[in-house]
Chain A
Amino acid sequence: MTKQQFIHVDADATVKPMPQTSDLVSGTIDGREVAVPWGTTLLEAAASIGTVIPTLCHHPALPPDGNCRLCLVEVDSRLAASCLFPLRRSGFSVSTESPKVFEARAFVLKLLLSRAPNDEYLKELAVKYEAAPDPRLGDLADGCVRCGRCVRACQATGTEAISLVGRSQERQVTGPFFEPPAQCVGCLACAKVCPTGYIVFSEERTSRSIWGRDFEMVLCPICGEPVGSLQELARAGAAEELCPACRRRAMASALVSGPGLSL
């Protein structure tokens, strides 16, 4: 894999730019007119007019999966997961906060809270939607909401060291055979995209641990700051690398002292 293909997943990235097509579709979202390129998801269309729909399993840098159902909205009186719903026809009428949506979202929150009752984001939403974990579900509170963002991030890097394994309440994120995953390169992409902070890792200047595995860090040859794990850099096709700050400086000085632009 070349370095350019290495996907860096940034948990704080904002909504990705809309697909480039000339055909527009139009309709209303909460009564407001909106026109977006054909195939834009409802979530993106709402974001384009500043309407925020709560999401959890969605991550702008990852393929949508639609599994948490928090982003449900009412489209032409049916419930749909907005992160997955492509707008392909004009005349849509969407409500992001109808009573039906409110009720559905409260139910979804109840389930999510049963897994991660201490998550700040979910707790905040729980207040708004008057939701609480359901004691009848038993004690499921391990902190992981099974959104699979970690798995999709790992897939996006091309490594796919972990997966969601099992069904129903037994479903869990794990390495193969419930063991520390041999394929893991210690890039921390999974931990960075996890919305609940379930994936534990530790990081020191010269080493890093995650998923029960230890990794040695590569240090910037100029300033000595950690750049990434050995295996992580190998995956990106780099043996030795400068840290971002030193790289910028090196590039700038190369431009200044370089041969200049020959036209």
Chain B
Amino acid sequence: MSTFDEQDLEQILRSRPAEPRQLLPLLQDIQARFRHLPKEALLATAERLSLPPARVFAAACFYRAFSLTPKGERLVAVCQGTACHLRGGQAVTESLEKRLGLKIGQTSADGRYGLESVNCLGACALAPVATVDGVVHGHLTPDAAAELI
């Protein structure tokens, strides 16, 4: 579910104390539930924590983990860090782009898949690396990467 649901939001907001320091945890919860941060949710968060919407919006735009538009149901993240780049990461990226018909940063029209790049997954020994829904796949070849989908 990536569509906005007021009851879900209400439940998330009430799950934590109404303190400014809960801003990031709440945004994480909202992102996890709706796969993006809907405008209504950001405004409701600002209201709940008594923070100016400008500050909440700035936080929402600062972290790569947050997105203002819905991310795909299945998130494919391909590493473009130095180690992965040296070991053929570019070919893996191109293979995934072709398989999904998406460019890095895009989400499929039906919302099923999203393709992202990361700058190092901290698994350089397994380079080149990609994750699908957070699960790490190492030593990828372009063919092996296409088969992940």
Contact = CB atoms under 8 A, between A and B. Distances in A.
Interface of A: 154, 159-167, 175-177, 181-183
14 contacts: A159-B52, A160-B55, A163-B55, A164-B58, A165-B57, A165-B61, A167-B61, A176-B53, A176-B56, A176-B57, A177-B42, A181-B54, A183-B52, A183-B54
B61 A166 contact: yes
B39 interface: yes
Contacts of A166: 61-62
In order of increasing CB-CB distance, the 9 nearest A-B pairs are A176-B57, A160-B52, A163-B58, A163-B54, A176-B53, A165-B61, A166-B61, A165-B58, A176-B54
Contacts of B39: 177
A163 B55 CA distance: 7
B57 A161 contact: no
B68 to A, nearest CB: 8
B62 A176 contact: no
A244 B58 CA distance: 37
Indicate the member of B39, B42, B57, B62 with the most A CB atoms within 10 Å.
B57
Interface of B: 39, 42, 52-58, 61-62
Contacts of A154: 54
Contacts of A167: 61-62
Nearest to B64: A167
Contacts of A181: 53-54
Indicate the member of B39, B42, B61, B62 with the most A CB atoms within 10 Å.
B61
A160 B52 CA distance: 6
Contacts of B52: 159-161, 163, 183
A162 B53 CA distance: 9
A176 to B, nearest CB: 4
B67 to A, nearest CB: 13
A92 B63 CA distance: 39
A159 B53 CA distance: 10
Contact of A182 (B53, B56, B58): B53
Contacts of A176: 42, 53-54, 56-57
Given A160-B52, A162-B54, A167-B62, 13 more contacts: A160-B54, A163-B52, A163-B57, A165-B57, A165-B61, A166-B61, A166-B62, A175-B54, A176-B42, A176-B53, A176-B56, A177-B39, A183-B52
Contacts of A164: 58
Nearest to B51: A160
Nearest to A184: B54
A13 B76 CA distance: 53
A183 B53 contact: yes
A249 B131 CA distance: 73
Nearest to A166: B61
Contacts of B56: 176
Nearest to A159: B52
A150 to B, nearest CB: 11
A178 B42 CA distance: 13
B36 to A, nearest CB: 13
Contacts of B55: 160, 163
A184 to B, nearest CB: 10
